[in-house]
A and B are shown apart, each in its own frame.
Chain A
Amino acid sequence: MIWHYLIRRLFLLSFVFFALTCFAFSLGHLFPGDPLVNFSGISQPDDELMPVLVQQYRLDDGYLQQYIAFLQRILQGDWGLSLASQQPVLHELKLVFPATLELVAYALLISFVLGVPLGLLAAIKANHWSGRAISTIALLGYSLPIFWWALLMIMLFSIGLGWFPTSGRISVLYEIPAVTGFMLPDILLSGQTYWQAALQDAIRHLWLPAFVLATYPTTVMIRFTRDAMLNVWQQSYIKTARAKGLSRSQVLYRHGLRNAMLPVMRQLGLQFSTLVTLAMISELIFSWPGIGLWLLDSINQRNYPAIQGGLLVISSLVILVNILMDVLHTLFNPLARKQANG
């Protein structure tokens, strides 16, 4: 049954997480410096605290006990302190991680809204000039280095035309307390009298980085929608549907699109790690205070507890999304479902 498949995925997931935590744990020992400092993030533990921490982290015992103690701390939410700010790493992650998710989510939204229809058009008009133009642009967008593209957009829209700001999630003069960590809901929750202006300002800030980040997934979406659609269009069930007398658009939506979207969805899962990498670059260029910028700063500052925590969160996200997409793909695809059971 489908349950077997899900359980198998769950096993895979737990194995990957095991490997991941092993890696994160070993970083504490592999980084230069005292493992105690690397794990706890307390830059100068005093004489009273030192034995307590050694005891708590079981640093005098074997690696296995240390690893178990590490896992317990991770699960309990004790991720150590950031060496740079002496704030809990988990607290900082709660501030920066939603910012990244927000950026990625809006970029994906843009890529769906633009990519799917354009891909469809390119497939339907495959031999028309408009279809070719879309394919060419998609290929071009796919090959653009994002840092160059981002700077170009800043030059044009921010410095040249003055339409959009170049940095941050919102003008720093708006004070929006982080409740959820997501900017738009936080503005609505802030209860500030200027929430409307703040919302507009946040959207102005969002537009450019989201658009730049959306470039890559949009082109992926266009290419795969087009290819999948062309492929589906050749299938005999489409011809059958047409022969039954369904209109072109009915066939397109009921039989074509759903089947064509399956490989697109799968691709999206596979490309997610690339997307996260690109998001980190965009964050750096647009000074978007997300996890990528935070992680890069941490690397610069040799902030080992933060690097450890950041890696754990980002890799977990990528793995989760990959597996989720795989599961969704299977659920929607009768063929894959059958294979999964067989």
Chain B
Amino acid sequence: MPKPLIKGSLATALLVTLLAACQPDMPAEVRSGLVYCSEGSPESFNPQLVTSGTTIDATSRQLFDRLLDINAQNGEFKPALATHWERREDGLSYTFFLRPNVQFHHTDYFTPTRPLTSEDVRFSFERVMHSQHPFHNVSGGEYPYFQTVDWANRVVRIATPTDDQVVFYLRQRDSSFLSNLATDFAVIHSAEYAEQLLQQNQRQRLDSQPIGTGPFKFREYRKDVFIRYYRHNNYWGEPSQLEQLVFDIEPNNAKRMARLLTHECDIIAYPRMAELELISKRADVKVQQQTSMNVGFWAFNTSRAPFDNSKVRRALSMAINRDAILQAVYFDQAEAATSLLPPTSWGHNPTLLPVQYDPGQARTLLAEAGYPYGFNMTIWAMPIQRLYNPNATRMAEMMQADLARIGVRASIVTLEWNAFRRQLRQGDHDTVLLGWNADNTDPDNFFRPLLSCNGVESGTNRALWCDPAFDALLAQALLTDDQAIRRSYYWAAQQYLTEHLPLLPLAHAKRFQAVNQRVEGVGINPYGGIDLSTAFIRSDEDTP
């Protein structure tokens, strides 16, 4: 009697296995959905509030639109919500003409009654610039990107003469103004939705249950698990072919790779460079590559001794074996950085040389600075992998060994990403490994957030470096539209940085993503977040 029982249960188990193993015919809602496996949870659903690439990838291009966009091919501006725009002679005002009949998202928490008007544009920017605006202090009242470009002081007033015209009045000429409007942060919200939330006393929902005009609309979000978007059927542009877009959140590299191989993910963010070669051999996966506008760097907390001493900073920089890092961390998929600006930028100064690797000279410099026996310090390594720094912990370990050779005892600090950023803001670090991804083509986008005095306040300047002479160079570069003159200022600024080294630029990485062979139309945007609205899934060879 026991024997048939055992056989029975084994057979049942086998049957269930086989049944479960058969790929079921997938329903349409599922077949035309795309799963993008991302590396972390977004901090917010409002790009105005953040600078982190994870959040921008998840929100900006999928949910929202900007007044204008950048053409990824040639770096020129192209119309988005504004069909065209005019600049007054003196450069002190810009008038934007809005696209007619642009519809906001219709969701289970909001039903729009009117298309986009100039009121929405004004609301979106006034929230950022007026501290007494009813929404300004919602979700913390910090707008890091706008703070670094000093938006509130540069834009005097926003006027809405008609429903389809918006005028921005500037305090002074600002050649980076249009570039700033084209960044992933300058998104347009619905003023009508905001009004509704104000009446319901639920203002914070504007940033957690977003309403935009973008190609997808928000459906649901579970922190650390997934984000679900549906297609916005009344999108003003070409509607996406994807019915659903899901961000599957998985911080672990190896697991994201495994899910790509099992086809649970259609696209994975930040594949490990060590595995790129391996997976590019597979027939079901393709690897896409593009040079991107980014830089990975090592920032010194210049508000603390001994890092306020430029000799110490130079000594530490000379102690680092950069070639070894490029090989072990970037797998030679990056260029050694000589400047903060990548070589693809028009402002790049080609006369600069990288800091030499010379431990002997580094020791001498340290002794001159008064630290013949070295000191103790911390290296903060960011816990997530970004393009510009695919493995900060590994990098920190290598640096630790390099620094030990000149007598500097470094310990590595790493925390969960949000906690990490919080503590960086408080300036708890000695040095930190971070990086920056360009939001637009303007060189200003590198210098001002990362190293200006404004950047210290808004928390993007992790070197906490505030040098009036350097800020003056940046300010002068913005007063003209003549690219040759601007370039000369940026060359001078880069020269200045090479002398003072508030941070050590390490590498400019190429951007990769691994994509299932069936997925087409994913463009990598060199200036910021990913845009998944043009992606689609080829169904012809869909035979498992």
Residues of A within 8 A of B (CB): 44, 84-85, 87, 95, 110, 113-114, 117-118, 120-121, 124, 154, 158-159, 162-168, 171-175, 193-194, 196-197, 200-201, 203-204, 207, 248-249, 252, 287, 289, 293-294, 297, 300-302
Contact = CB atoms under 8 A, between A and B. Distances in A.
Nearest to B248: A172
Given A166-B264, A173-B33, A207 B2 contact: no
A298 B250 CA distance: 15
Interface residues of B, number: 46
6 contacts: A165-B262, A166-B258, A173-B29, A197-B30, A289-B222, A301-B418
Given A207-B17, A300-B416, A174 B30 contact: yes
A165 B264 CA distance: 7
Interface in B236-274: 244, 246, 248, 250, 255, 258-259, 261-264
Given A84-B418, A203-B20, A287 B9 contact: no
A114 B10 CA distance: 8
A174 B246 CA distance: 10
Nearest to A123: B2
Residue among B5, B16, B24, B419 having the largest count of chain A Cβ atoms under 10 Å: B24
Given A114-B9, A166-B258, A193-B27, A289 B20 contact: no
Nearest to A113: B9
Does more than half of chain B's interface fall in helix, strand or loop, or is it mixed?
mixed
Contacts of A124: 2
Given A84-B223, A173-B244, A167 B29 contact: no
B30 A194 contact: yes
B25 A172 contact: no
Contacts of A297: 224
Contact of B30 (A173, A207, A287): A173
A197 B26 contact: yes
A204 B544 CA distance: 15
A302 B35 contact: no
A28 B70 CA distance: 50
A159 B258 contact: yes
Given A114-B9, A197-B24, A171 B264 contact: yes
Which 10 residue pairs of A and B lie closest in terms of their CB atoms, listed nearest first? A194-B27, A249-B1, A173-B33, A163-B21, A173-B30, A85-B223, A200-B24, A117-B6, A172-B246, A300-B416
Contacts of B16: 203, 207
B258 A154 contact: yes
Nearest to B5: A117
B110 interface: no
A120 B246 CA distance: 48
Does more than half of chain A's interface fall in helix, strand or loop, or is it mixed?
helix
B13 interface: yes
B533 to A, nearest CB: 17
A194 B29 contact: yes
B348 interface: no
Given A172-B246, A249-B1, 14 more contacts: A84-B418, A120-B2, A159-B258, A159-B262, A166-B258, A166-B259, A166-B262, A167-B250, A172-B228, A200-B20, A203-B19, A203-B20, A248-B1, A297-B224
Nearest to B252: A287
A118 B6 contact: yes
Contacts of B88: none
B219 A301 contact: no
Contact of B222 (A95, A117, A163, A197): A95
A124 B16 CA distance: 28
Residue among A87, A154, A159, A175 having the largest count of chain B Cβ atoms under 10 Å: A175
Contacts of B13: 110, 113-114
A117 B2 contact: yes
A172 B225 CA distance: 9
A151 B19 CA distance: 23
Contacts of A158: 258, 262
B419 A302 contact: yes
Contacts of B250: 167, 287
